[in-house]
Each structure stands twice: as C-alpha cells, then as structure tokens.
A and B are shown apart, each in its own frame.
Chain A
Amino acid sequence: MILSLLILYVVTLVYLSITERFRNFASIVSLQGWLLFIIALLRLHAIAPSELAFIALETLIFKALVVPAILFAVIRRTRINRVRTSGSSQFHALLWSLAALISSISITYYVADPTIDPLFFGVALYALLSGLLLIVLRSRLFSHMVGFLVIENGVFLFSTAIGVEMPLLINLAILLDILMSVLMLGVFFTEIDHKIHADDADSLTHVKD
C-alpha cells in the first residue's frame, strides 16, 4: 500500500515539472498533502495514539487543506493563471525532472544501507531536487513558492521514515516550517502584489551590486 502511494507521489512530482497552470500546482500540492496524511497514518501506526493523531491532524489540516486553500486564494487575488515566461520549455523541464529522478535512484542505490528505508530516502531526494528545479527553472514567484512547499513535503515524507523523536521535536519543526509557508504565502504575496505590482522574479532584481 505504502509503495503504491509513494509511486503516486513520484508521479505528482513528475507532473509538477510539466504543468503550467497554477491551479494545477495548487491541486497537486493538495494531493501531496492527502498522500502524506495516508502515508503518515500507515507508517506511524505503532506510535502512541495521541501522537499519531497530532501528526495526522497537522498533516491533514495544514498540508492538505490550509496551504492549498491559501494557494487558491493567492491565485484568485493576484489573477495569475499560468506560467507566462517559463525559463524553459515543458519538454526541457521534463528532461530535467527525469534526470533528477535517475540521479535520486542512482544515489539511493549507491548509498543503500539497512539503517534507512531506501524507498523513502530516494523519494525525498527526488522531492528535494524537484523543488529546487521548480525554483531554478521557473521565473514566477508562485512557482518558487510551490517549489519550497515541494521540498517541505519531501522533508516531511523522509521524517516519517526516520521517526526519531518524531512525536515532539519533529512535529515542532514541521509546525514552524508550516508557519513560514503560511507567512510567505499570505503576507508576502499580498505585499508583493501591492508594492511591486508584479509577481515575476525578473522584477526582483533591484537589490544587487
């Protein structure tokens, strides 16, 4: 079951690399939130019920509901629809994404060790690379924000595989990260839209040498 969910998670990452509509971005982030919720439930069933409930609720509320809702609100508010000036074509983005996938599989195979679940490690690494690719290859700030959320989701996925001190410290860390996401999405986006009147990363080039 977990394997199928992880494969579906990888598919969402590949799809993110080629889609250009921002509504699709928000939907994929929401889908990833739901997948993480189910994976957390299946993976962490052995820990104390109260701790499991906290983690599951946190994942469901923030990752699957609140953050996507803010993303949709930002889309409505800023009226951005799709990637206007993509730094690369869909085909090139797909090639980059597949290269990242192959690299992740290779690295996972190379460092394989019984201490860490290689499947989770590989998918988390691919999520990290996918997020970085979204930030580097796309020129709109919204894509950068989604890239950051993809990295966050990858880190959360990996933390479910580790489970060390999961109940308290990792939850606190993730909550703080969620706070950052909501802060950036909510406050900064409305401010950027208000002050700079553009959400293109090209317009953010005044602070330089």
Chain B
Amino acid sequence: MIFYLYLALSVTTASAVLLSRGRRTMHAIGSLFYVVQALFAAWLLFGGGSGTSAGTIFAFDTTGTLFFLLLVIVSFWVFTHSEPYLSECAPTQTRSYFSLLLLLTTAITGAYFASNLAVTWIFLEATTLCSGGIIYHRRTAQTLEAAWKYVFVCSTGIAMAYLGILLLAGATRCESLSYDTVANVIAQSNPLYLKTACLLILCGYSCKMELFPLYTVGVDANFAAPSPASALISTGLVNAGFVALLRLYRLMARTEIFPWVRSVLLVVGVLSLLVGALFLRRTNNYKRFLSYSTVENMGIAAIGLGVGGVGVWAAVFHVVCHTFIKSSLFLQMAVVRQVYNGYRINRLGDYIRINRIGAIGLLAGMVVVLAFPPSPLFLSELMILGEAIAAGKWWLVGTMLLLLCIVIYSFCLRVLRLCYQPNQDELHPSKADRALSWSALSLLFVAMILGLWQPAVLRDIIDRIATL
C-alpha cells in the first residue's frame, strides 16, 4: 500500500511540474518530489519496509533498496545541477525536462523493485519513453536523430527481451512470471529454450545497461541529452539494466545452463570492454568519451558476473561505486559546457586556469575511474582479476590488462589535454560556477571513501546481493 501511495505521489508531483508556472513553483514541486523519495527511503531503512513486498508484483529486497538509495542521491544531484544548466532555456522546455526527469526516476524505481519479469520489462519500457523526451530536450535535428534512434532501438531491443520472457514463461510452464515462482521450477525446463530466452533477454536489456551489442543507443543518448541528465542515464538507468540482468543471472544460477550463461557474459563483457577501449581513443566529444567509459565499466561488471565466485560481489561493488564516479564526471562536464559551450576534445583546453576546482574534479575523477588507489574500482577490478587467475582464465586476464592499458592511455591523454593544452575555442560569457564543481566533487569523495573503507553495512548488503 505504501509503495502504491509512493508511486501515486511521485507521478502526481512529476506531472504537477509540467503544469507549474514560474521557476520557483517548479523548484518547490521538485523539492516535494525528493521529500517523497526521502520518506520512502526512510520507510525502507528504518520503518521495516525492506524485505517486505507490495502485492505480487513488487518486493523491497536488498538489491532494489541499495540501488534505490543510490538513485535518489544521484537524481537529487542531477535535479540541483539541472537548474543552472537550463537557466537560458524556454520555460516550456524546462518544465517538460524536469517533469520527465522525475518520471524517469520513478520508472527506474519501479524497475528496481519489480519482483516479476513482466513488470521489470514494463518499467524498463517506461524509462525509454521518459529518456526519449529528455534526449529531445533541445529540439534540434541532432537531438531528434538521437532520440529517434534511442526510442527505436530500445523498443526493438525490449520487444526482443519480451519474446525471451515469454519463452522463459513457456519453458518453465509456471502460472506466474514472478522471480520466486520461476526460480522454483526453472531447473526442470528445457535447456535449449532457456538458452534462447537468455540470449534474447540479454540482447534486449543490453540497450539499458550499455553493454555489447546495443550499447550505441546509450552513447547517443548521453551525447544528445543535457549533461546533468546524462549523469542519471549513465548511472541510474544503467543500474536498472544491471539489476534486471542480475535477477536473470540469479534465475539461471539454478539451472544446468549456468556455466554457458557465464561464458556468454564473459564474451559480452570482453566485447564491451573492447568497444569502450577502442572508442575512447576515437571519439572527439567529451560526453561520448564518458559514455564509452560507461560501456567499458559495464563490460567489467559483466566479466565479474561471468567469472562468478567473488567476481559477483566485485561486479555489484563496481556498479555501486561507478554510480558515484560517473555521475560526478558528467556533472563536472556540465560545468565545462558552461565555460566553453561545447565538448569538442581537439579544441578545448586550459581548464585548470579557468576553473581550478572543476579541473581538479576531472583529474581526480580520471584517477578514480581508471581504478588507481584510492579508487574503489581498484578493489573490484583486482578481485575480478584474482578470480579469473584462480579459475585459470589467463586469456581473460591478458585481454583485460591489455584493454585497460588502452583505456588508461586514452583517458589520461584526453583529460590532461582539457586541463593543460592551450584553448582554441571562444569562452562562453558566463563564468564557471565553482559551487557546482564542488558539488560534483562531493560525489567523487564518497567513491574515494568507499575505496579506502567499506562500511560493514554495505559489505553485508553486497554479500546478500551476491549470494546466489
């Protein structure tokens, strides 16, 4: 009942933003939305909500709760950063942007807490609708092209995923598509049907998790959407894809095809890492650059699931920490746009003189996303490599290390260029907002703290999530 009330209040406040007049009213309604999120989070954490369920289609398990808390934090930061970012936009456009941003947050929450394969699918489809509107925010031919591609490819991918879900339902012959019911009978199902279903679902959800093969739409979406929204798409929405995949992974762990599923995830992960590493070198746009970094990191998470054992723990921890790091970097990039009014890699430079805090944020972000200590990603990548060595997968270790070297080279080259090479673009009249740079940096601090010290509560939560 509480969750349905939460959903109703969230959708109502998000819709009210669309009808609001004036920026103050819009801000007030937006703040109300986050009060609702905070109250729901408090109910989950302290009111005994975690571990319960709402009817047969939503369950507030540890996985959903952890990723919901991350989503609320990132979404609030995105909302705060979006206001100055969109200050020059027309009120109608700003209203629809904020409304869609809040609806997207609600849809992602639904996907996190869905305890039914079909409901997960419905909410993921709903995120496509909201993201499409956000991508088209600027109403230009380029954003239209990106939005069209995003909606079209996501819809096609999600339709394929639905075919997979139906096949899974048919193969298990259970009366419900709830994860628990399917888990109880999946072991007796036809392995060939399960393999086909798994491939279709993985292929469909790859557009949300920004994994090979449908990663391209995510990159285009991040490129065309306003930078703060890219922070949410590249973390909260990607996490929704990860949660959906993790739930499928848990189902498959009960079947005889589990080793095959892990091999498929290894292949998908390595291909994503390869694509990320190669395109980090090729692209000439900082937002696409960060998006390919997301593809690379999700590839590492998929490899973690593929190697299994402690790799599953590392994959979950990797995705959790990536949420803080990537949202911080995208929000820093929003400040970069304030200064240069663009993202062209070969023309921008001298950022260290223009906005020292922002440049430090980007340089620190570079160190952390490249998994150098005190990065939490150092820990997760080390665990994944350790598990791969223990399993005797030397080809995987060699490939990962080689590709990670390319990533390190590309990242250092591009970020150092932005900070230190002579600038060749005209500066935008408005000054860099240092408060926003500090605010974005605070998310990175959280990630660095997690690299140095993982609270027992977090370790316990990830232990429970990683238990198959």
Contacts and interface: CB of A to CB of B under 8 A. Distances in A.
Interface of A: 107, 110-111, 113, 115-116, 121, 124, 128, 131-132, 135, 141, 144-145, 147-148, 151-152, 154-155, 158-159, 161-162, 164-165, 169-170, 172-173, 176-177, 179-181, 183-184, 188, 191-192, 195-196, 204, 206-207, 209
B177 A169 contact: yes
Contacts of A164: 166, 169-170, 174-177
A112 to B, nearest CB: 9
Given A147-B156, A155-B166, A164-B175, 7 more contacts: A124-B163, A128-B160, A151-B156, A162-B170, A172-B118, A195-B140, A204-B145
Which of the listed residues B144, B152, B166 has the most CB atoms from chain A within 10 Å of its own CB? B166
Contacts of A159: 166
Contact of A180 (B121, B155, B174): B155
A179 B155 CA distance: 11
A148 B155 contact: yes
Nearest to A110: B192
Interface in B176-209: 176-177, 189-190, 192-193, 196
B152 A196 contact: no
Contact of B118 (A147, A148, A173): A173
Contact of A152 (B57, B159, B282): B159
B145 A180 contact: no
A207 B146 contact: yes
A198 B429 CA distance: 36
Interface in B248-276: none
Contacts of A184: 148, 151-152, 155
Q: Can you list the 9 inter-chain pairs with the closest CB atoms, starting with the nearest?
A: A111-B192, A116-B170, A164-B169, A169-B118, A113-B190, A209-B283, A162-B170, A204-B145, A207-B146
A183 B220 CA distance: 20
Main secondary structure of the interface of A (DSSP, over half): helix
A174 to B, nearest CB: 9
B288 interface: yes
Given A165-B177, A176-B122, A115 B171 contact: yes
Interface in B59-75: none
B142 A148 contact: no
A121 B166 CA distance: 10
B242 interface: no
Given A113-B192, A115-B171, A155 B163 contact: yes
Contacts of A151: 156, 159-160
B129 interface: yes
A159 B162 CA distance: 9
B355 interface: no
Given A173-B162, A176-B125, A196 B174 contact: no
Main secondary structure of the interface of B (DSSP, over half): helix
Interface string B128-139: 110010000000
B9 to A, nearest CB: 21
B141 interface: yes
A169 B116 contact: yes
Nearest to A131: B156
B148 A180 contact: no
A116 B193 contact: yes
A172 B122 contact: yes
Nearest to A107: B196
A47 B177 CA distance: 18
B159 A148 contact: yes
Interface of B: 57, 116, 118-119, 121-122, 125-126, 128-129, 132, 140-142, 144-149, 151-152, 155-156, 159-160, 162-163, 166-167, 169-171, 173-177, 189-190, 192-193, 196, 220, 223-224, 279, 282-285, 288
Given A164-B177, A165-B177, A169-B118, A204 B148 contact: yes
A209 B159 contact: no
Contacts of B283: 209
A196 B192 CA distance: 45
A206 B141 contact: yes
Nearest to B155: A180
Given A164-B174, A173-B122, A209 B163 contact: no
B142 A115 contact: no
Contacts of B160: 128, 151
A155 B279 CA distance: 34
A46 to B, nearest CB: 15
Nearest to A164: B169
A185 B155 CA distance: 13
Contacts of A158: 163, 166-167
9 contacts: A113-B192, A115-B170, A116-B167, A162-B170, A165-B118, A169-B177, A173-B125, A180-B151, A184-B152
B220 A207 contact: yes
B118 A115 contact: no
Nearest to A145: B152
B268 to A, nearest CB: 19
Contact of A154 (B146, B147, B163): B163
A135 to B, nearest CB: 7
Contact of B144 (A121, A191, A209): A191
Nearest to B123: A176
A207 B287 CA distance: 12
Given A115-B189, A180-B151, A204-B149, A128 B122 contact: no
Nearest to B125: A176
B156 A148 contact: yes
Given A116-B167, A169-B118, A196 B141 contact: yes
A143 to B, nearest CB: 12
Contact of B152 (A116, A132, A148, A177): A148
Given A128-B160, A164-B177, A116 B155 contact: no
Nearest to B282: A209
A128 B161 CA distance: 11
Given A172-B122, A173-B118, A180-B155, A128 B163 contact: yes
A207 B174 contact: no
Nearest to A181: B155
